[in-house]
Each structure stands twice: as C-alpha cells, then as structure tokens.
Amino acid sequence: MNRRSPVLLKISYLIFTFGIFLVGLEYILENFFRKSLCTASSCLIAKELLLLEKNYLLLIALFFYFFLILLLFFYQKTEGTFFRNLIFWLLTAGLIGDTYLIAFLSLQIKEPCWFCLTVFLITLSGTISVFLYLKKEAISSLQFLLALIFGMFSLGLGLYFSSSSTLISTESDVKNATLILIYSNHCPACQKVIAESEKLGLKIKKIPLKDAFPLLKTLNIKNLPCLLEVKEAKVEIFVGFEAVKERLNLEATTNPCYENPQEGGLCAIP
C-alpha cells in the first residue's frame, strides 16, 4: 500500500476530526456548562495537578488536530517535503507531550484519567495512520533528530509557562500561618468550610490541592478538606469535613459530600 492510499488518508482525517470533536465538546462543557465528559475523581484530580490550565491544554489540542488536518491536506495536494517535515515534527511533539502527561499523572494518582487516555490514544492512532500513509518516504537520522528536538523544545516551553508553585514559600509563612487549609475547588465540603470560616472571620491560609498534593501523598492523606494547625514546632493535622468542622467550631452540620453524593466531587483523593 503506497502513500497515496485514500483509505489511510481518510482514516487519518477521521481520527483527527474526532479529536477536534471530543476536545471541542469538553471545552464547551467545561466553560459554558461547568461539566465534563469524565466525572471520575481521577479526572478531577488530574485537572488539579496539571501544570498548565486545562483550558490551555484543550486549546492546544484543538489547534494540534486542526493543523495536522491542514498540513495533511497541503501535503496531499503538493507532496512537498516541507509539509511532510512539519507533519512529522508536529506529530512527534504531540506524542512527547501526551506521553509526558500520561506518565506524570500515572505516577501521581492510582486511577487513570480516562479523558487524558482517550486523547492520547487518538494522537497515537492518528500518528500510526499518518506514518503508514507516509511510509514510502524515507526519514533520515537528521530529520528524526530535528523532530525529537522540536518535540522536547515544545514540551520544555509548555513547562516553562506552567503555573507551578510551592506549598509554603518561606519559614516565616509557617510561623505566621497558624491554620492552613488544603482544599479543592471540586470538593463541596472544602467550599463549605471556607464559606463558614469566612463568616466567622477566621484567619486561615488556604492552599489549593495542586500545590499541596506531594505533601498529602507523602502523609498518605486520602480525604479533603485537610487542616494543618501550626503550634510552635508542632503541626497537628485534621482530615475530613467532620474533624475540620469540629476544630473550627463551624455551624455546618451536614457533610456536603454525603448530602449530594450524586454530584460527585473530590472529597476523597484516589
């Protein structure tokens, strides 16, 4: 089967078009309906841990699939080496980025992010289809090296513009912050604790799960919210809604995670 195979070309178009549809649908649900195609807790925590904002990654994926379709079209019409090299470089960058994302999340959480895996499989299957379509075109060692460099550069650029931060920046922060609350925007109990504590005027340093996840993983803490109380050289830890509520003397009586279990949430960390 040669590179002009209309079947392989159509399959490639179909795969990348499906990628645009899937990622675009997730973007619309996320931004206009506050929903997601993946409601599992693993997907929620993946969103918390992503170095880049989820919306940025979705937009990058949309442009990635769109430009691949565009480049395939131009290559089909011209059979030019320039477009073939761009396709090769772009696919390499996409595979490296997706592989890094899957590996990073696999090391952090036990359960897979199904949406992330689906996007990875779309990219992988599309890459295989395109390479089969281009298999008559010899790829030199230099071209492979350039594609690899381009892929690593793209990954490094993405990490450079990421929004990672530390849990507590200085030792003085620890001394000044008597109460530290680790929370998630996807945890109803966390939002309840924050709202109630603000009503009472409590001074609490709030840390998002994204920045505190390595600490929680080290301490094997599986529930949110998590309250750290610093007492001189000692730190007392309160885990879960009931423990935090009792320590802060909050008026809330019902755990929102149990009150509306059908809504899901990230009260338990997978």
* pLDDT for the residue 252: 63
pLDDT in tens, 145-168: 777 787 777 767 665 555 444 444
Chain-centre distance for alpha carbon 245: 30
Parallel/antiparallel/unpaired status of strands 179-183 and 205-208 = parallel
Rounded Cα gap, residues 264 and 76, in angstroms: 47
Q: Identify the residue with better confidence: 13 or 172.
A: 13
Q: What are the structure tokens assigned to 87, written together? A: 């396709």
Which of 1-10, 39-48, 63-72, 164-173 shows the lowest per-residue confidence on average (mean pLDDT)? 164-173
Rounded Cα gap, residues 51 and 165, in angstroms: 9
* pLDDT for the residue 57: 85
What residues contact 77, with CB distance under 8 A and at least 6 apart?
A: none
pLDDT in tens, 223-262: 888 898 887 667 788 988 888 888 888 876 677 776 444 3
- Whether the CB-CB separation of 149 and 39 falls below 8 Å is answered with no
pLDDT in tens, 182-230: 888 888 888 888 988 888 888 888 888 878 887 787 778 888 888 988 8
- Whether the CB-CB separation of 189 and 224 falls below 8 Å is answered with yes
